[in-house]
Amino acid sequence: MVKKAIFGGTFDPIHIGHVHIAYEALYNLHLDKILFMPAGNPPNKINKNITDAQIRYDLVEKAVENENDFEISDYEINKKENSYTYETIELFNDIQSDTKWYFLIGADSLMDLDNWKNVDRIFNNCKLVVYNRAGFEVEEVLKQKKYLEQKFNKEIIFLNMPIIDISSTNIRKSIKEGRNVDYLLPGGVNEIIDKRDLYK
């Protein structure tokens, strides 16, 4: 059976920290592919200033175009209504029924998972994988992991990996201030940002 992980996010913009997480998941979980899925209208980010979905998709597409182990999906950016994780996972289970699905989330999302819609349907349709993020103590993440595992009677995989403390928020801020961020971005992404005059 093929093993794939969905890696969702706003990716505004995608940076080398995202690529690092994807490769750590790929190797540690012995996956066949990582499916990057830029968010369209994430319910948890309503009213926040997010770059147009098609632009964010183009940035991710450029970042993964030469990576044989990475794929990209436009499913969520093409949805007119809000994107809910449980719907996405159920759909991909239907259209790729020969695939064992994993879903990557950061520690911040794990802490908020109780507030997501139909969490039980997420657990029933994929294996949840959490990676730590800057600002979270490992003990805190593992405590929340244990709480959710007991509540839903499902296992959550903790991806023990080095943290690269890079954020899209800080990259956007640096671009606005005229700083060079090329070293923080996958190849070609900086060229699209410059050409389209993004984040100024």
Domains in the chain: ranges and CATH: 2-165 (3.40.50.620)
Cα distances from 79 to residues 54, 65, 72, in angstroms, run 12, 23, 15
Quote the CA–CA distance of 123 and 77 in Å, as a whole number: 23
Please report which helix (H) or strand (E) contains residue 103, including its range. Answer: strand 99-106
pLDDT in tens, 18-35: 999 999 999 999 999 999
Band the pLDDT of 44: cuts 50, 70, 90. Answer: low
pLDDT band at residue 48 using 50, 70 and 90 as cut-offs: low
Please compute the mean of the pLDDT values over residues 89-116 and round it to a whole number.
96
Please report the DSSP string for 20-60 in residue order.
HHHHHHHHHTT-SEEEEEE-SS-GGGTTS----HHHHHHHH
Q: Alpha helices, DSSP H only, in the chain? A: 16-28, 53-64, 85-95, 107-112, 119-125, 138-152, 168-176, 189-196
pLDDT at 97: 92
Question: Percent of the chain beyond pLDDT 70?
Answer: 96
Q: Is the pLDDT of residue 108 over 70?
A: yes
Average pLDDT in the 146-150 region?
98
Residue-wise pLDDT for 155-200, tens only, equals: 999 999 999 999 999 999 999 999 999 999 999 999 999 999 999 9
